[in-house]
Amino acid sequence: MTMPALEDLRALGREDLSKAWQALHGKAPPPRMSQVFMRRVLAYEIQVRHHGGLTKTALKDLARKEGKRKQSSKTARGLKPGGRLLREWNGTTHVVDVTEDGFLWRGQTYRSLSVIARTITGSHWSGPRFFGLTKTRAHK
């Protein structure tokens, strides 16, 4: 099957979308991929072939921004399951266990340390900073 025209994608059923996917990628689409998502990927590829892809500058900018995003969240993601964080706040010691699914505090799992810190303090805090996982800048 040749690549369909962009305006024809909406009318294609699963079988024809799968054939177009096969022609594009050389293999069948993942078995549970929705038709909506297949259309989006195929539409993008059709546009790239017709108009060209992202410029080298745009690709470099995206890579740089991705690197910064990973670096900024590196500390929290660097924690390994089984680790334990302790923080004393207003005379109470709070224990947070690092799990595969996030952070366990008082029997409840949270995806974010910041939510736990906010709950403990009643105000906005960076979770990694509250638990001492980030370096603070020295005052000059």
Q: What is the pLDDT of residues 38-60, one digit of tens each?
A: 999 999 888 888 888 888 898 88
40's tokens: 């989006």
Distance CA 58, CA 64 (A): 10
pLDDT tens profile 69-128? 554 443 455 788 888 899 999 989 999 999 888 899 999 999 999 999 999 999 999 999
Where do the domains of the chain lie? 6-51, 84-130
Query: What local confidence, expressed as pLDDT, does residue 74 receive?
Result: 39
How far is residue 26's CA from residue 56's CA, in Å, rounded to a whole number? 26
What DSSP character marks residue 32? T
